[in-house]
Amino acid sequence: MVRCRGMAKKIVTIVGARPQFIKAFALSRAFVQAPDFDEILVHTGQHFDDNMSAVFFSELAITPPRYHFTLRGKSHGAMTAQMLEEIENVLAAERPDAVVVYGDTNSTLAGALAASKLGVALIHIEAGLRSFNRRMPEEINRVVTDHLSDVLFCPTQAAVANLAREGITRNVYPVGDLMYDAMRIATPIAERTSSILDDLRLTPGKYGVATIHRAQNTDDPAMLARLLDYIAAEAARQPIVFPLHPRTLAAANRAGLDPGRAGIRVIAPVGYLDMCRLLHHAALVLTDSGGVQKEAYFHRVPCVTLRDETEWTETVESGWNRLWHTAQFNPRREIADYGDGHSAARIVDTLRTTLDMPAGTPAS
Ligand code: UDP
């Protein structure tokens, strides 16, 4: 295929955190196959451990980032400020037609601010999600990014409705969920190549998977202790595999808490293929992760969300997920959202027409 560089639309995609590498895996494949797009990946360095970053690029064969920052600041403000400055330099040098940001991290916010201040069209993928809890840093990042965006791709109808309530109705496209695309591509590969069940001596259908990483859960030692007790209670019934996020490990160490009680297999964070295989054969998922809640449903595994609210309300309404403080699941049904595994193609098709609008055209 001849790439017609002169006429191709140049896209700068900002990634920095684990779930964004997985979403980029699904969308970057579609950009590579589209001769009329030229994508440049920028890695902000927000996640930097090999098992939180490099593993995804190597095992999923994601095109390596052209720019990769090393962050010095640790606080939200310092981190976001440095990313903002560096992304602005990249945009000034590359002069792209559009910037793509994913989800709700500080990298998302920095990319959104840099693009919109320079008048570059801003595309938000996974737009419209709301927890309605402004104490979550992710909620602030989502709200600001959505209101700055020129084109908004929503995974669910609830997300479209959330945007409409905030007056954002232009250039809003429900396209399904890129993580569903990623899961459908990766699971057959994981089934052939991952040895994680044997390595951990797990019997399919007879174990659970737990993850915790949200600041609301890790930063308060009393809350973290309650969550670890909750997981330990489930581990009395079946083994629980617990890939420990670096933030959670650090918080547990600071608070003098031991995440590895009886029945809990604490392991380092795993790559996406191992995670797909673990989830695919699990009997139960316990998580505070947005992505993992959905993935539990993609693999048709019941999930308990270790939070007091969720952005993925359809998973609860449909009986596949419940919040940890509620006693039982709703009656179970299939979920109509999340698409058919072809969100990436739909996003690329939509961008072909929408990017002909003037950059900086507000969506709201
Ligand atoms: N994940 C992974 N390895 C792990 C834990 C999670 O590959 O050890 C994947 C998981 O399958 C999902 C994504 O990371 O695709 C979710 O990321 P995370 O929970 O960090 O963020 P969130 O979805 O809450 O934004």
Model confidence over 295-342: pLDDT tens digits?
999 999 999 999 999 999 999 999 999 999 999 999 999 999 999 999
Examine residue 3 and state whether it is found in any structural domain, yes or no: no
360 in any annotated domain: no
Structure confidence at residue 30 (pLDDT): 97
Residues 28 and 131 placed together within one structural domain of the fold: yes
Looking at the structure, tell me whether residues 28 and 141 fall in a common domain.
yes
Question: 155 with 202, same domain?
Answer: no
Q: Is the CB of 269 under 6 A from ligand 1?
A: yes
Predicted TM-score of the model (pTM): 0.94
Instruction: Please check whether residues 165 and 278 belong to one and the same domain.
Output: no
- What confidence score (pLDDT) does residue 29 get? 96
**163 is a domain residue:** yes
H or E element in which residue 82 lies: helix 76-94
Residue 47 is a catalytic residue: no
- Number of domain units in the chain: 2
292 lines ligand 1 (CB under 6 A): yes
Same domain, 103 and 49: yes
Q: Residue 155's closest CA among 319, 299, 314?
A: 314
195 and 82 belong to one structural domain? no
9 C-alpha vs ligand 1 centroid, how far in Å? 30
Residue position matching structure tokens 């902000």: 44
Task: Report the residue among 185, 209, 289, 307 best suited for mutation to probe ligand 1: largest number of ligand atoms under 8 A from its CB.
Answer: 289
Q: Ligand 1 center to residue 118 CA distance, Å? A: 32
Query: Looking at residue 361, what is its pLDDT?
Result: 46
Q: Do both 32 and 99 map to the same domain?
A: yes
Compute the distance between CA of residue 170 and CA of residue 167 in angstroms, rounded to an integer. Answer: 9
The predicted pLDDT at position 201 comes to: 96
Which residues of the chain, if any, have pLDDT below 70?
1-6, 357-364
Q: Does the CB atom of residue 80 touch ligand 1 within 6 A?
A: no
Give pLDDT, residue 358: 45
Q: How far apart are CA 348 and CA 43, in angstroms?
A: 21
Task: Give the domain extent around 345.
Answer: 9-177+340-354
**pLDDT value, residue 6:** 52
- Predicted confidence at residue 74, as pLDDT, reads 78
| CA 170 to the chain's CA centroid | 24
Q: Are residues 348 and 326 in the same domain?
A: no
Q: Could you tell me if 211 and 168 lie in one domain?
A: no
Is 38 in the same domain as 68? yes
45 burial level (CB within 10 Å; 0-12, 13-18, 19+):
buried
- Let me know if residue 362 belongs to a domain: no
Would you say residue 361 lies in a domain?
no
Contact 345, 185 (CB under 8 A): no
**In this structure, what are the phi and psi dihedrals at residue 127, rounded to the nearest 5 degrees?**
-80, 155
- The answer to whether position 325 is within a domain reads yes
Best residue among 50, 211, 307 to mutate for probing ligand 1's pocket (most ligand atoms within 8 Å of CB) is: 211
List % helix, strand, coil for the chain (3-state, nearest 5).
Answer: 45, 15, 40
Identify the active-site residue in 43, 47, 147, 213: 213
Does residue 132 fall inside a structural domain? yes
CATH number of residue 132's parent domain: 3.40.50.2000
Residue 4 lies in a domain: no
Are 276 and 346 within one domain? no
Tell me: do 111 and 205 sit in the same domain. Answer: no
Q: Give pLDDT, residue 7.
A: 78
